Amino acid sequence: MPDDAPVATIAAPEALFASILDIAADAIIVVSSSQHILHFNQGASRIFGYLPEEMAGRPLTDLLPERFRGAHGGHVAKFSLGSDQSRRMGERREIYGLRKDGVEFPAEASISRLETRTGVVYSVVLRDTTERTMRARNEQFLADASGQLGTSLDVAQTLKSLCNVPVPFLAEACVVDVLGADAGWQRCVSKSDNPAVQRALEAVGRDVLTWDNPWRAIDVMRSRRGEIVPQVTDDWIEAHTDSHAVMGRLKALGVHSALFVPLVARDHVLGAMTFFRLANATYSPTDLELAQALATRAAYALDNARLYMMEQRATKVREEVLSVVSHDLGNPLAAIRLCASALLESPPTETEEQRQLVRAIANSADWMSRLIQDLLDVSTIEVGKLSIERRTELLKPIFAQAIAMVTPQAEQRGVTILSELSADVPAVHGDAARLVQVLTNLLGNSLKYTERGGEVLLTASLNEGQVLLTVRDTGSGIPAEELPLIFERYYTRRRTASKSGSGLGLSIARGIVEAHGGHIWVESVFGEGSTFFVSLPAGN
């Protein structure tokens, strides 16, 4: 360098040192031997929230939570007497800092010792590990949640797990609303150790959603996007509930902040999870991200449980179908074989005897055909694909056709069939052929359990805007313990029936009625007879 070259001005060592410290992202704090702050860089200012000039001369313990302050001086004194010039802090326990706003945060730090002309000074380098710590905790939470959700393939148990897994890590209360395979809503709520919160949750759990409900979970399911409500006020609750009763139950829960996420698996929306914080804590975008990750795992756990249940049900149905086919088709098949054998091996010479054998074959074939049709109908009902062609239909021809179809059976059994149809009963909105099938099944069932000399009465009336059909018999009646089972598939009262059947007739009747938006039920006194009721929408 030439002798006359300009010489750069070198800043004072202290100023250069301070400028280097200030560009660091971590907090760098220099303290005296008495542990009072000499330098507080910009990184420390960003992390703790204090301005550098606010902290000059203040004790380092002001940046520590109260529970750590007493022991801190002893740790530094021990370090000053050791041979190490620097070491990492918190080797045996987690360390925390205290921000200006009073919020604690996890941190990692190291300390070094420097001998100066004026005495020993200590330099602390501290890094805020809130994000890293929360990420690790969140990952552990999701791993634990996945383990809990995977412990059962029972749908009800999986739903309970869905409600309780987020508590207390992500919520103090949780509500799960799911849409069942039959399009009906189901709600499950979490448990709480607080008796008042538990009572409020149980009350909220009794409410059931509809697609028209203003509750935000419905919007979240439609949009498939999570949503945060930072502060749940009384006005917000009033705007998102459909009755004063529901509003009162939510207010009693004392919600401060809420978070909604959809349950989506294999591109199907199964429901939604609602998380509540009851204390003065607000959900953040990070919480939403975690809740969505949990909801994804929860949705697949629920969907897997449902698929398993459907597989189990399908296996049971297949076994029941095989049982019905092997048993109930066996009788008409045996009759056909006997008649065919008689016609082939020793055909009768009389024409009438020949006709009887042929008629028996035809009746047996009809019996088999009806059974096969019943099996097909119950299968279509099971998957919700029963064909219904609705129009305004008069009841008189429906009654006439149904009665005509069972008259031969009634005559054979010596049972009288009566019908009453008032002139003021309106038409129904439905499928005439399917309604004939319902009445035929109900009439046939009553005939089966009514002794000779008895009667079966078919009536219709108008009841609260609905058309009410009734089939009343004077038969043996149904034991009280069997009433809840009477519409189940393959259920038969073989001990009292005059002729066993497939056990599908009443189940098919229920499926057809419910496909019309109607309702079917039975009332019976054992030994005195039964009355079947069918409520249907009136025609326009």
pLDDT tens profile 397-416: 999 988 887 887 888 889 99
Q: Among 509, 470, 469, which residue's Cα sits nearest to residue 489?
A: 509
Residue 130's CB: how many other CB atoms inside 10 A?
15
Query: What is the rounded average pLDDT of the residues 128-152?
Result: 88
Burial label, 387 (beta-carbon count in 10 A; 0-12, 13-18, 19+): exposed
Lowest mean pLDDT, pick from 125-139, 464-478, 504-518: 504-518
Q: Is the pLDDT of residue 10 over 50?
A: no
Instruction: Please check the confidence at residue 307 and state whether its pLDDT lies above 60.
Output: yes
For residue 490, the tally of other CB atoms under 10 A from its CB is 16
Q: Return the structure tokens found at 63.
A: 């940046």
Distance separating the N- and C-terminal Cα atoms of the chain: 107
Quote the pLDDT of residue 463: 85
Residue 50 CA: distances (Å) to CA of 40, 63, 102, 483? 9, 10, 12, 75
Structure tokens at 240: 């998102």
Q: What pTM did the predictor assign?
A: 0.56
The pLDDT value given to residue 13: 57
Percent of the chain with pLDDT over 90: 43
Domain ranges of the chain: 13-128, 134-309, 329-385, 386-537
Q: What is the pLDDT of residue 189?
A: 94
Higher pLDDT: 336 or 242? It is 242
Helix, strand, coil percentages (3-state) for the chain, rounded to 5, are: 45, 25, 30
Q: Is the dihedral of CA 333, 334, 335, 341 positive or negative?
A: positive
CATH fold, domain 134-309, is Beta-Lactamase (3.30.450)
Distance between CA atoms of 213 and 219, rounded to whole angstroms?
Answer: 9
Query: Region 121-149: what's the mean pLDDT?
Result: 90
CATH class of the domain at 386-537: alpha beta
Asked if pLDDT for residue 376 goes beyond 90, the answer is no
Residue 29, SS3? strand
pLDDT reported for residue 11: 44
CA distance 159 to 125: 48
Question: Is pLDDT at 502 greater than 70 in this prediction?
Answer: no
pLDDT at position 240 is 94
pLDDT tens digits, 224-272: 999 999 999 999 999 999 899 999 999 999 999 999 999 999 889 999 9
Measured CA to CA, the distance from residue 341 to residue 306 in angstroms comes to 50
- Is residue 377 pLDDT above 90, yes or no? no
Q: Which of 430-439, 471-480, 484-493 is the least confident region?
A: 484-493
What would the DSSP string read from start to end of 382-444?
HTT------EEE-HHHHHHHHHHHHHHHHHHHT-EEEEEE-TTPPPEEE-HHHHHHHHHHHHH
**Matching fold, domains 134-309 and 386-537:** no
For residue 7, the model assigns a pLDDT of 38
Q: What pLDDT sits at residue 389?
A: 82
Question: Which stretch of 1-15, 103-117, 317-331 has the lowest confidence by average pLDDT?
Answer: 1-15
Q: State how far Cα 190 lies from the chain centre.
A: 13
User: If we measure between CA atoms, which residue out of 273, 271, 265 comes closest to residue 304?
Assistant: 265
Of 8 and 447, more confident: 447
For residue 198, with 0-12 CB atoms within 10 Å meaning exposed, 13-18 middle and 19 or more buried, which class applies?
middle
Of residues 282 and 310, the one with the higher pLDDT is 282
CA distance linking residue 238 with residue 241, whole number of Å = 6
Burial of 219 (0-12, 13-18, 19+ CB in 10 A): middle
Q: Give DSSP secondary structure letters for 46-82.
A: HHH---HHHHTT-BGGGGS-HHHHHHHHHHHHHHHHS
pLDDT tops 80 at residue 87:
yes
Closest CA to 215 of 263, 176, 266, 171: 176
**Confidence class for position 509, pLDDT limits 50, 70, 90:** confident
**What's the confidence (pLDDT) of residue 122?**
92
> Range with the lowest mean pLDDT among 74-88, 96-110, 232-246?
74-88
pLDDT at 283: 93
- Which of the four pLDDT bands, split at 50, 70 and 90, describes residue 533? very high
Angle between helices 330-345 and 351-382 (to 10 degrees): 160
Mapping DSSP onto H, E and C, the string for 227-265 reads: EEECCCCHHHHHHCCCCHHHHHHHHHHCCCEEEEEEEEE
Provide the pLDDT confidence category of residue 2 given band limits of 50, 70 and 90: very low
Q: Are 203 and 252 in contact (CB under 8 A)?
A: yes
Mean pLDDT of 103-115: 89
Peptide bond before residue 168 is cis, with ω within 30 degrees of 0: yes
Q: How many CA atoms lie within 13 A of 492 on its CB side?
A: 18
Q: With bands split at pLDDT 50, 70 and 90, how would you rate the model's confidence at 172?
A: very high
Q: Which listed CATH number (3.30.450.20, 1.10.510.10, 2.30.33.40, 3.40.50.150) goes with 13-128?
A: 3.30.450.20
Rounded to whole angstroms, the Cα distance separating 539 from 391 reads: 8
CA dihedral sign of residues 197, 201, 202, 203: positive
Q: Which two tokens stand for residue 58?
A: 């203040």
| Pairwise CA distance, residues 98 & 274, whole Å | 32
Confidence of residue 20 (pLDDT cuts 50, 70, 90): low
Residue 167: per-residue pLDDT: 93
More confident residue, 342 or 164: 164
Q: What's the mean pLDDT in 486-499?
A: 59
Least confident interval from 14-18, 64-68, 244-248, 335-339: 14-18
What DSSP state is assigned to residue 482?
A: G
- Mean pLDDT over all residues of the chain? 85
> If you count them, how many residues does the chain have?
540
Three-state SS for 122?
strand
